[in-house]
Chain A
């Protein structure tokens, strides 16, 4: 009998919920983007991460209030769907779905150079700079090795999640503890390193651009604080959610800010902003290899531990967004805002199969982008969707004053208003920065929204049609007849 072969999910405590948030945040962002942020803002990268933490905290309050009063596990899309009309909630879901998918591409792009660095530490491949391309005999073209690796990582995790539900959930707490421990080791050795005493934090801001360079760097690294929202996608499995969800959001945000600041300070202190910028996506890994002790048993080079941390973090973060993006698409399918097949579980695997495969297509496409473009686009779409989340809080307070709110944010309406303004400023700066430096990313973003508009109109037409279809009959999308 094909019955009863998958177990129900376990109960999650405050610690588990916090770890889900931290695990998603302390994934790729810190490893991949620190170097790129240092490239734009110099030593002020520290300020960049600190300010982003502050900006995100306002939206965190909004998420906490919504998650506590709307008992649904769908995350941002589910809340907005509850409050807004058809089109607004569609656009929210559409943007959030894209943000997760592009983030997936970003993490895959961060995984590849760090993985090469890991192989390099053990002398399996030459230094990343010298790794050129592998030649595919069939296609007769040279594919850059890093690109191929990123591609394989996405395909592997998509395949895993498409045929099994095992990769989600349970192990997250352990993963997060491993990641944080590795970063603590990094900070510990960094602080005791003689390199730190010669640290150069002056001038704090890069010459020429000055303090203004902070804003585009904030836009790029905003995605490093994306992830606490994933706590709200598992609320049904959390014990005493109306207390634990807001707590988990705040604790994970605060802890993540502390970890980031320590890591960025050490990285800049040891390698210097310029060295960090040169290392790009592998910035933290490069900093680590510069001061970690060598000649250790088993792992030989202490830096390898940190590089392993980067590889591990980018992979687990990629896994998290593969799940998150497919959940958004699945919910949209359930709500009739994407084709119904998106909202169906696969009859054999029990996974949202179509939603995962569709997400994979965009993710694979985004792997072909430069890392910085992927980071900018993902950040832009998270900023936009966070604006909507803040608006949702205000709208819900106005339209449903009598709704029971187990958690009410303090000083309403200041936090969501400040959140909207700050997110708008960052989105504006980011768009302006993209116009100057990365027109492709901007055009792709606009194209996605345009595509959304077309998809929405098309779906509405499709939904209007079935009224006539049953007469001639055999279409798959015929709505089911209710008893």
Chain B
């Protein structure tokens, strides 16, 4: 009914925590599983997600993270094998769940046979590094650095802003709609937000959930 998802993030290290933070900023519900007590305490200070302390392959711990209600589980620890085990355990407990596993080498891409999606953060990071080194003025959508997020957002049917002209929609400060619906023009005040069309939007993290509410409902 709503576009807010319940998501479990296994592994509260750099990748896991950043992911949970992005998701929480967009209004989703993140629960982090982390076994290291020191990291648990650090995450708790940041106040972005509920934290379950324990081994993410332990069915009891996955259940405590609320797997029965979760829409997706992302296993983002540094160990490919462990991540795969977490996803498979979660699937066993909740067959409907979407699974995402972090891998640490390109050859592990065949794991998509077991999980819905894989990610290779080192390669994504390397791409950003390469962009920076070359000093190109052009940055692709996903490779933004800094806090600002550039996103492609599809306006949902029935969302508060759907069918409205930009002049009639008061976006929070820190949000900017960049492109019009076919991506050929910069948006103007008479641009209409058509349901089903996608728009390039620049958003500061702390207003992302408001923008998502307006555009996604």
Contacts and interface: CB of A to CB of B under 8 A. Distances in A.
A170 to B, nearest CB: 15
B182 interface: no
Contacts, number: 129
Given A344-B159, A404-B51, A8 B3 contact: no
Nearest to A335: B2
Interface string A229-253: 0000001100011100000000000
B61 interface: yes
B2 A69 contact: no
Contacts of B41: 404
B1 interface: yes
A480 B217 contact: yes
Interface in A1-40: 1-8
Contact of A403 (B53, B160, B166): B53
A140 interface: no
A120 interface: no
A346 B216 CA distance: 13
B171 interface: yes
A1 B166 contact: yes
Contact of A71 (B47, B170, B172, B188): B47
Q: Interface majority SS on A: helix, strand, loop or mixed?
A: loop
A2 B217 contact: no
A403 B173 contact: no
Given A347-B161, A480-B158, A480-B159, A2 B51 contact: no
Interface residues of B, number: 53
A478 B1 CA distance: 9
B108 interface: no
B104 to A, nearest CB: 27
A275 interface: no
Nearest to A330: B213
Contact of B207 (A8, A70, A236): A8
Given A344-B217, A348-B169, A480-B157, A82 B50 contact: yes
A69 to B, nearest CB: 7
B13 interface: no
A340 B171 contact: no
B166 A340 contact: no
A406 interface: yes
A336 B1 contact: yes
Interface of B: 1-4, 24, 27, 29, 40-41, 43-45, 47-54, 61, 64, 66, 154, 156-161, 164, 166-177, 188-189, 204, 206-207, 210, 213-214, 216-217
Interface of A: 1-8, 69-72, 82, 235-236, 240-242, 333-336, 340, 343-350, 399-404, 406, 463, 476-483
